[in-house]
Chains A and B, each alone.
Chain A
Amino acid sequence: MGAAVFFGCTFVAFGPAFALFLITVAGDPLRVIILVAGAFFWLVSLLLASVVWFILVHVTDRSDARLQYGLLIFGAAVSVLLQEVFRFAYYKLLKKADEGLASLSEDGRSPISIRQMAYVSGLSFGIISGVFSVINILADALGPGVVGIHGDSPYYFLTSGKIHLLSSLYPPSILVPDLIYWPSLRDFFGSTSQEPGRRSGMYLLPISLPAAFLTAAIILLHTFWGVVFFDACERRRYWALGLVVGSHLLTSGLVSWRQGPELGRKAFNGEWDVGEGVSSLLNIFNLPGRRRKGESFKVSHLSIISITCSGEEVEWISQTVMQRA
């Protein structure tokens, strides 16, 4: 059910961050301000990276899928580097503020230490980046099925008679109980479904659950990176800076690397076998996933893409997939 997926994934993704916020940041106005300003800096860095990516995409050939994928990877790398640059800029700003605060205080000590600022700024980057990554997926998990809402291809989710096959892909540990179903999807695809979409709620689970865990990890990672980064700047240990940047790049690239560039190519060419997609997702958490070829597995490919693509794109994908099926 939408609500279960939504709440579960939200708490998985943001539980640690929320707890950290509530306990350490919410009580102190200064830290809250540092948090919000950190989020602003991250947003600016994202904006600049998007500008770069956008320009590149528009000056190059849009139909060349491989190039576009490469540009995307490049855009992601630029974004990571810009985030680190802005983290440094934020460090400089906070350092100045710290000095100002210290000079204004009665006993010459600033009310907040640079380490606290490092922690809060890391947390702020983490929260805002986590939110930006996953909030749309969560919102879609909550609401009624958006897929196919404009009456696009009825081939979405193909025939739900094959839906139950998907369940065999997943190890029992993440199988959603039978009680969970998604009535709105059933309503949408009532005519084409042979069984009452009981397991259709599971469609978004494979997307939102790994996303939630990954988001939680990234939030915490940003927090740690913030602390290490500021400390490295304070003590002028530039190798530690390089470590932070390198590990950020590594983390960001890890997902695509696991899938392999080959997968990316296939995705764009519409050859992506859903089994691969699903099993690669599962691989992230070292869960066993079996690859099975066949039409039914294209379904989850569509569901992954459909969360974020427009109706027209999904239409295209579904038609492409159907042609190859």
Chain B
Amino acid sequence: MLTFMASDSEEEVCDERTSLMSAESPTPRSCQEGRQGPEDGENTAQWRSQENEEDGEEDPDRYVCSGVPGRPPGLEEELTLKYGAKHVIMLFVPVTLCMIVVVATIKSVRFYTEKNGQLIYTPFTEDTPSVGQRLLNSVLNTLIMISVIVVMTIFLVVLYKYRCYKFIHGWLIMSSLMLLFLFTYIYLGEVLKTYNVAMDYPTLLLTVWNFGAVGMVCIHWKGPLVLQQAYLIMISALMALVFIKYLPEWSAWVILGAISVYDLVAVLCPKGPLRMLVETAQERNEPIFPALIYSSAMVWTVGMAKLDPSSQGALQLPYDPEMEDSYDSFGEPSYPEVFEPPLTGYPGEELEEEEERGVKLGLGDFIFYSVLVGKAAATGSGDWNTTLACFVAILIGLCLTLLLLAVFKKALPALPISITFGLIFYFSTDNLVRPFMDTLASHQLYI
């Protein structure tokens, strides 16, 4: 897969046009700001003939792309909206997979629920005699953690502004190396221990080496989209497991709440670091780094369509600001990812373009969603109802966020709504619904 390059002169360089070729629905267009679709007349005609789907949640689901040159606005709207439902599912699936991995691990491998110390980012202990002290400690832990994240984010934005690309590349490569090799090794060790499976070192070395090397290649260079997505899901799950293990109880919940607020601020405020990052990248018309953004889309050329480069206009869509940038614990920002296969279409050839745009979600979002659900699984008294309730809440939050994305058409934070719903459902299910359901079950009453 080629990274999307601004200098690419092929037409449908719609950055994240995706070609999730689904048989029935073509090109959903998830609109991100500044995206200009690869429009051309052929596509319009093609889209018009296809059926629509839409996110049935609400009225006019407008995944409208703004400012496509040479397109009447009304047509724009009509075309773009629809495949909203497809985008939602394209995100539901990876988020669900990540959560399944995390919950399955939490429920079976005891290592991740054992308390073995804390990270240096949360120095205050929660083993305190009084509730007030514990609360205070967790708030302090949260403050420290959030400030670390803020500092790292700002540092990154500064680096990006001053074009220190190599430094950022190196940083990202170091962190993914650590995730892919060290954390995987630890994870594999614990899983083998749990199931009492013996593995000799040479086999282990071979396995971890292959896994890690292919992961590095897929994430940072080129690789099949599905493999890359799978690796991103896996590293998000690993990161979430680390958080679940090392964050103390109350601190974890307060951190989740605080990070959603931070996310909201960072992405929406004019001077927010993430917003600045996004805007800078847009100005420069370049994709950021193939780092921590999960992309569900890619460009594809299929079929027959006549492509007229000249009519495309400014097709160099700037990488599309991902829905939200979220930083993982190491302060790495999630950048939009642009993986696009080389276009097989040639200008002038009778090629029809089926483009599909996808949505991007920062890996930080994956991580924190999984932390929430994993914590619910770990601490909810072994209760599956709590886990499931949080899971549904997060999915609905994601759905609503995508809806807002369609309405506002610019990068949005994905954490606040989902985490809020998740937290509400966690605490209410654990404390209110669980006793009710347990009592009902003990009397074999079904409701």
Interface of A toward B, CB cutoff 8 Å: 28-30, 32-34, 36-37, 39-40, 43, 46-47, 49-51, 53-54, 69, 72-73, 75-76, 79-80, 83, 93-94, 96-101, 103-106, 111-112, 117, 128-129, 131-133, 135-137, 139, 210-211, 214-215, 218, 251-252, 255-256, 259, 264, 267, 281, 304-305, 307-309
**Shortest distance from the beta carbon of A204 to any chain B beta carbon, whole Å:** 13
A97 B58 Cβ-Cβ under 8 A: yes
**If the complex has contacts A50-B432, A99-B59, are A39 and B54 also in contact, measured as CB distance less than 8 A?**
no
A308 B78 Cβ-Cβ under 8 A: no
Known A33-B57, A96-B59; further 10 A-B contacts with Cβ < 8 A: A33-B399, A47-B432, A51-B428, A69-B443, A101-B52, A101-B56, A133-B447, A136-B437, A267-B443, A281-B444
| Segment 55-85 of B: residues with Cβ below 8 Å from A | 55-61, 78, 81-82, 85
In the bound assembly, the distance between CA atoms of A86 and B160 in angstroms comes to 49
**Shortest distance from the beta carbon of A253 to any chain B beta carbon, whole Å:** 8
B428 A47 Cβ-Cβ under 8 A: yes
A104 B54 Cβ-Cβ under 8 A: yes
B447 A83 Cβ-Cβ under 8 A: yes
Our count of residue pairs bridging A and B at CB distance below 8 angstroms stands at: 169
Please count how many residues in chain B sit with their CB below 8 Å of the partner chain's CB atoms.
49
**Shortest distance from the beta carbon of A277 to any chain B beta carbon, whole Å:** 9
A51 B388 Cβ-Cβ under 8 A: no
In the bound assembly, the distance between CA atoms of A105 and B83 in angstroms comes to 11
A30 B55 Cβ-Cβ under 8 A: yes
Query: Taking CB as reference atom, which chain B residue is nearest A254?
Result: B446
| Segment 413-447 of B: residues with Cβ below 8 Å from A | 425, 428-429, 432-433, 435-447
For B58, list chain A residues within 8 Å (CB): 96-97, 100
**Shortest distance from the beta carbon of A6 to any chain B beta carbon, whole Å:** 13
Interface of B toward A, CB cutoff 8 Å: 48, 51-61, 78, 81-82, 85-86, 88-89, 92, 382-385, 388-389, 392-393, 395-396, 399, 425, 428-429, 432-433, 435-447
For B432, list chain A residues within 8 Å (CB): 47, 50-51, 54
For B442, list chain A residues within 8 Å (CB): 304-305, 307-309
**If the complex has contacts A29-B86, A72-B439, are A37 and B52 also in contact, measured as CB distance less than 8 A?**
no
A40 B392 Cβ-Cβ under 8 A: yes
In the bound assembly, the distance between CA atoms of A256 and B447 in angstroms comes to 11
**Shortest distance from the beta carbon of B296 to any chain A beta carbon, whole Å:** 12
**If the complex has contacts A33-B399, A46-B433, A256-B445, are A136 and B384 also in contact, measured as CB distance less than 8 A?**
yes
A34 B384 Cβ-Cβ under 8 A: no
For A136, list chain B residues within 8 Å (CB): 383-385, 437-438, 441
Q: Which of A33, A83, A131, A264 contacts B388 (CB 8 A)?
A: A131
Q: Which of A30, A97, A104, A309 contacts B78 (CB 8 A)?
A: A104
Query: Taking CB as reference atom, which chain A residue is nearest B425?
Result: A43
**If the complex has contacts A43-B392, A72-B440, A128-B392, are A30 and B56 also in contact, measured as CB distance less than 8 A?**
yes
Can you offer 24 A-B residue contacts whose CB atoms are under 8 A? Answer: A29-B88, A29-B89, A33-B55, A33-B89, A40-B393, A73-B445, A75-B440, A79-B447, A99-B59, A103-B59, A104-B61, A128-B388, A133-B441, A133-B447, A135-B384, A139-B382, A210-B444, A218-B446, A255-B446, A256-B443, A256-B445, A259-B444, A308-B439, A308-B441
